Structure 1
Amino acid sequence: MVSLLFATAPNTGETASAHLNQKFLAQKISLQLPAEPEVVISQEKMSQLAQNLEEQIARDAIELEIHGPRLVSYWLKSDQPEKALIWQARLLGIYNHQGFYEDALVYCESVATQLDHLCGTDNNMRWNMVGNLFNCYATTKNIAKAYQIVQEEALLKLDAPAQLVRAYYIMAMFHTRFLPEHDHALAEDYLNRSLSILADPTSDIPADDRHFMAAFDMNGLALVKHRQGVPQEAIALCKSAIEEFKNNLSEGKHRLHRSVLDYNIAQVYAAMGELEEAVIYFTAAIAADPNYSEYYNDRGNAYQRMGHLENALDDYHQAIELSPPYYEVWMNMGHCYYLKGLIEEAIKAYSVALDLQPTQTPVLIARAQVFEACGHLEEALLDYNAALDLNSQQPFLLANWATLHYELGQLSEALSDLSAAIALSPDNPDLYQNRAIVLISLGQSDAASADLQTYLRLNPNATDRAEVEESLSSLSKG
């Protein structure tokens, strides 16, 4: 038996208790505690508390992280609430830097509406604030707000070349990656504007920064070209960016970004099916940054497609060693084990992937197919059922489900599955042939004949035409 302690707000205990009684069968003990009287502190006292806490925090980032929210609260309740703003901005930066975007979101609105007051004409500070707001909004899925902040508070107000270059790059990424409707041509235009600034010899951007930003823009332009369907141009741009690094920046600088360029080239080659080239560039990326999990995962995928299954497994295991768990690498490992004929290992890998991300339809389908292949039909049916609960509009999945129902002797269920699949994909000839088999087993000859005729009409060059025509002849005689 588990004991649970619930605390409720004043005068809400009975409502909460009634709700719990609907969900739990348990003995209940209620304790009514008197509400603590509200302590009212004057605004002047709050100001004094805030000043004392500021002195304690000083410039210590850890102290700010611990006591910052309380300091903001003090200033907001004081007779000088405007003094909270600078601390809200600092906390926004700290939480954003640490990846605590939901926590940072608490301060976004206050900072976003007071950027002019905070930054004045300081371009560097404005860009830092906008960058923090962009990261926070974008990573919490508020793309429209992120776009508005960059456009209105950076693009339209910055006038320093270095910050404009960064703003143009972000706007390009909005139009090629983040916004629901992509505009790759506009993204390309923003990147070309950025490159034009960087190519201007009169710019006050330091040389090292200029070369780095140019390489970064070329990398962004490579992504645009890849998405426009011109992979060779994408590869050429990445290689040009690598040359920009090699020719103008010392070897020890920007190792992460150098590895990303090799990684991007590898991804394009992998998408083109040129797997040996992809492996070469994945390996170069790993050499530059050997501690990044996704490089190993993606090289493992390339090895798997080449049939080098042991190499693939080695990479997947290394990816797992280097990172907190994520379902993709376990799913890929499951595929690899299955190709090697290691059924139990494949099921275990898929199960870990589903523990990490239970709503991944591809993993459910993959594990169902492994269960089906080794004769565990009931387990396979459960996984197919779970996948269909997540998305019922999958004709291929419905067809697989129908096969299992047929093998289990559940003919009516198989017929229903195939009819639903045909409704979703009426031009797929195989679905009609499969339904004809079920209809024959149910003794519905006329309906089976109609489905076989549809199969031949949709697939006039069927290799089994003679066999199907013989079945039609037998059905007509029956």
Structure 2
Amino acid sequence: MNLAADVTVPTAATLRLRPAGADGAAPAGAPDRRLAIDADFHRGGTWAGVADLAELAWRELGERGRDDLIDAHNPELHMALARHRERIALKYACLTETAHDAERTRNFPLDRAYRLVHGLVGLMLDWKRALAPQQRWQVVAFGYDHAQHLASRFFAELARRGAAHGIEVIVYSALDTDALAQRAPGLHAQAASDAGAAPPAPAALDDAAYAALQPRLERGEPLAWEIHAPALIVYHRGRGEDALAARAALRALCLSNHYGYYHESASFADTVLAHFEDMVGDDEDARWNYIGNIFQGLVSAGRQELALELILTRAEPHLRRRELRAKMNYLLSMIHLRYARTPDLALAEHYILLAAQDIAAARGAIQDADQTFLRVFIDNGLAFLRVRQGRPREALALCQEGYALLTRELGDDRHALHRSVLQYNTAQVYVMLDRAEDALAYYRKSMEMDPYYSEYYNESGNLLQRQGRFEEALALYELAVRYSAPYPEVHFNRGVCQSQTGDWEAALDSFALSLELNPQQPEIHQIRAEIHEQSGDADAALADYDAAIALAADSVAARVNRAVLHYGRGDYAHALADMDRAIALDPDNPEHYENRAEIHKSMRREELYRHDLDRAEACRAAA
């Protein structure tokens, strides 16, 4: 949730890709196609280099008439190709994307940006499969050491997922091999000092271009700022205009925060803070707006202590108006409740109650509609605290009373996003109270108000699945997939549901998709192993148990199941090793000793066999 107002801003990209052999002749052993890009965040913004690849894919797929693939990657193309955003309308825009200013009361989770990364990698794979499945492609990223968080993540994911499709990723970096391997194991490095066939640098902004751009910037055109902010920051710094560079950085920071690019947003914080006091002066609204944006980037990037210090030193001593202090105290509550490494519920309660007092005292000093909304917003934060305190019925009352008050005083049209959030929060509390039908009813209300928010469908699908309503759950999972860039959780949940219905082939496909997006999921390997066992494929089952245990060595269930499989294949030594480990991890389970006793029996170890049976009886007696 974000009480800071929106400010709009930047990212730039010029198509600078070149095919293999751009000088006429490719060297021996060269790839079939070489794509050289500039990944420097300071020149290209959040998607530096990545946007160049996405634009070329978009153009070439369009030339081949592959509108189906362009459509499949709509969210990530819409976001990465700022220069063409007016031509790539977002098909399924949720309220978090369309709400502005005070109406926008929910920030994107950082995970949403990671979904865009997954989608952009998927675009690369689909592009290559459609155009040249047998070719070897090489993506060469110059300026890699100056790539920001999301672009770096893209290159790592492309290296991992692209290897099986003939895509190699080479980065020009000053990092040594070990350091680069720790960051992204699949990347191949070239020395940063080796210029190679680098793409041409983007044209610098000169005085004439700046003068031509200025009217659009003064009008606050979002796309103008998004596209040109990196060049503007460089332009002003080159002229020694550090204060103007800081203002451009502030625009970039706020827009990055708006889009959920929080590491990118946080990267501008020091530049902005160096000139912060001069920029805001005595304007309390500007002070709070900008601090709120800086705060969100810092906490999401793991810099909670600096974010708290920012509130206490740059906001608290300067804010006098009660409604702004209410927003500040709300945020201080959330620091201690949501963002602190060790939550402090007492401090969170102290600040949220101060916020409630402040907004009550602001009545008459601000418009009634604003006071009503802020009261409900703060009460929603209090509801979250009550849930964490184990007081769900109080949380439920706060959500429902807040929704009724907003509707009664402001009507059905204003604050649609926050009203949908209140319905969603009510659904979550009903889940805690084990009132599934009530929870589902409120999930449906949330969907009616915000029909393209993927999480509503995923979570309500999970609830239906727990009730054994598998077909209904699967229908919601399909909508969750449709309304979002890819994320592994929904494919995992769908796979579990499909396995419950006995549709093992579909389940395996869903699990494969989930693992492609996130290979660190031992539970998927375990479920797949069980499916393979039931279908009679012992080799595939064993491979998945091996993978599960490689990822989670202390999984008792995987150890026991693999032991049973080894035992059935007559491999008693490996079965015994797994049961020894299972017993070490879970020593009070009598069934483990009975399983190990059977192994000893098959190995003709009579004394150990009887000893384990005795231990099983002792466990049962102790229970």
TM-score of the aligned structures, taking structure 2 as reference length: 0.65
- TM alignment of 1:104-115, pairs within 5 A: 104-115=265-276
Contact 2:359 2:375 in 1 (8 A): yes
Query: Which residue does the alignment assign to 2:547?
Result: 386
- Which sits farther off after the overlay, 412-421 or 390-399? 390-399
The residue type equivalent to 2:604 in the other structure is G
Q: Could you tell me which of 406, 415, 431 is aligned with 1:254?
A: 415
Residues 10-64 of structure 1, C-alpha deviations (whole Å, 9 max, x = no match): xxx9999x98xxx99xxxxxxx98999xxxxxxxx99967964763654243333
Q: CA–CA distance in 1 between the matches of 2:467 and 2:620?
A: 32
Contact 1:333 1:346 in 2 (8 A): yes
- TM alignment of 1:114-263, pairs within 5 A: 114-200=275-361, 202=363, 204-263=365-424
Query: What RMSD over aligned residues (CA atoms) do the two structures have, in Å?
Result: 3.2
Q: How far apart are residue 379 of structure 1 and its match?
A: 1.8
Q: Could you tell me which of 569, 594, 597 is aligned with 1:408?
A: 569
The residue type equivalent to 2:305 in the other structure is A
Aligned residues: 440
The residue type equivalent to 1:297 in the other structure is N
Q: How far apart are residue 324 of structure 1 and its match?
A: 1.4
Q: How far apart are residue 394 of structure 1 and its match?
A: 2.2
The residue type equivalent to 1:238 in the other structure is C
Contact 1:75 1:81 in 2 (8 A): yes
The residue type equivalent to 2:535 in the other structure is C
Contact 1:172 1:190 in 2 (8 A): yes
| Structure number with higher relative contact order (C-alpha < 8 Å, ≥ 6 residues apart) | 2
Q: CA–CA distance in 1 between the matches of 2:521 and 2:312?
A: 35
Q: How far apart are residue 230 of structure 1 and its match?
A: 2.0
Structure 1 residue matching 2:268: 3-state secondary structure: helix
Residue 581 of structure 2 is aligned to residue 420 of structure 1? yes
Q: Could you tell me which of 252, 259, 266 is aligned with 1:98?
A: 259
Q: Could you tell me which of 464, 479, 491 is aligned with 1:330?
A: 491
Residues 130-173 of structure 1, C-alpha deviations (whole Å, 9 max, x = no match): 12112212232333333332333233432222222222222222
Q: CA–CA distance in 2 between the matches of 1:268 and 1:286?
A: 17
Query: Which residue does the alignment assign to 1:288?
Result: 449
- Distance change >3 Å, CA 456–CA 109, structure 1 → 2: same
Query: Which residue does the alignment assign to 2:53?
Result: none
Structure 2 residue matching 1:334: 3-state secondary structure: helix
- Distance change >3 Å, CA 2–CA 79, structure 1 → 2: closer
Q: CA–CA distance in 2 between the matches of 1:150 and 1:456?
A: 61
Q: CA–CA distance in 2 between the matches of 1:15 and 1:140?
A: 23
- Distance change >3 Å, CA 117–CA 340, structure 1 → 2: same
Residues 177-210 of structure 1, C-alpha deviations (whole Å, 9 max, x = no match): 2212112222122111111112226552321111
Residue 470 of structure 2 is aligned to residue 318 of structure 1? no
Residue 242 of structure 2 is aligned to residue 84 of structure 1? no
- Which sits farther off after the overlay, 375-384 or 144-153? 144-153
Contact 1:259 1:285 in 2 (8 A): yes
Contact 1:218 1:240 in 2 (8 A): no
Q: How far apart are residue 252 of structure 1 and its match?
A: 0.8
Q: How far apart are residue 66 of structure 1 and its match?
A: 2.5
- Distance change >3 Å, CA 117–CA 162, structure 1 → 2: same
Q: CA–CA distance in 2 between the matches of 1:254 and 1:83?
A: 35
Q: How far apart are residue 429 of structure 1 and its match?
A: 2.7
Q: How far apart are residue 2 of structure 1 and its match?
A: 5.3
- TM alignment of 1:333-412, pairs within 5 A: 333-412=494-573
Q: CA–CA distance in 2 between the matches of 1:55 and 1:8?
A: 30
TM-score of the aligned structures, taking structure 1 as reference length: 0.83
- Distance change >3 Å, CA 125–CA 346, structure 1 → 2: same
Residue 231 of structure 2 is aligned to residue 70 of structure 1? yes
Q: CA–CA distance in 2 between the matches of 1:128 and 1:55?
A: 24
- Distance change >3 Å, CA 384–CA 115, structure 1 → 2: farther
Alignment identity in percent? Answer: 32
- Distance change >3 Å, CA 444–CA 195, structure 1 → 2: same
Q: CA–CA distance in 1 between the matches of 2:517 and 2:445?
A: 30
- Distance change >3 Å, CA 110–CA 279, structure 1 → 2: same
The residue type equivalent to 1:405 in the other structure is H
Q: CA–CA distance in 1 between the matches of 2:172 and 2:196?
A: 15
Residue 597 of structure 2 is aligned to residue 436 of structure 1? yes
Q: How far apart are residue 320 of structure 1 and its match?
A: 1.4
- Distance change >3 Å, CA 379–CA 110, structure 1 → 2: same
Contact 2:322 2:361 in 1 (8 A): no
Structure 2 unaligned regions, length at least 5: 1-28, 35-137, 144-170, 178-184, 187-193, 199-203
Contact 1:334 1:345 in 2 (8 A): yes
Structure 1 unaligned regions, length at least 5: 25-31, 37-44, 463-478
- Distance change >3 Å, CA 146–CA 443, structure 1 → 2: farther
The residue type equivalent to 1:436 in the other structure is A
- TM alignment of 1:11-22, pairs within 5 A: none
Residues 455-475 of structure 1, C-alpha deviations (whole Å, 9 max, x = no match): 22222288xxxxxxxxxxxxx
- Which sits farther off after the overlay, 177-186 or 137-146? 137-146
The residue type equivalent to 2:297 in the other structure is C
Q: CA–CA distance in 2 between the matches of 1:94 and 1:422?
A: 54
Q: How far apart are residue 382 of structure 1 and its match?
A: 2.1
Query: Which residue does the alignment assign to 1:271?
Result: 432
Q: How far apart are residue 125 of structure 1 and its match?
A: 1.0
Contact 2:142 2:172 in 1 (8 A): no
Residue 450 of structure 2 is aligned to residue 300 of structure 1? no
Q: Which has the higher helix share?
A: 1
Contact 1:161 1:203 in 2 (8 A): no
Query: Which residue does the alignment assign to 2:214?
Result: 55
Q: CA–CA distance in 1 between the matches of 2:373 and 2:615?
A: 61
Residues 88-125 of structure 1, C-alpha deviations (whole Å, 9 max, x = no match): 11221222223333433331111134322221221111
Residues 378-431 of structure 1, C-alpha deviations (whole Å, 9 max, x = no match): 222222222222222222222222222222322111111121122222223332
Q: CA–CA distance in 1 between the matches of 2:563 and 2:242?
A: 66
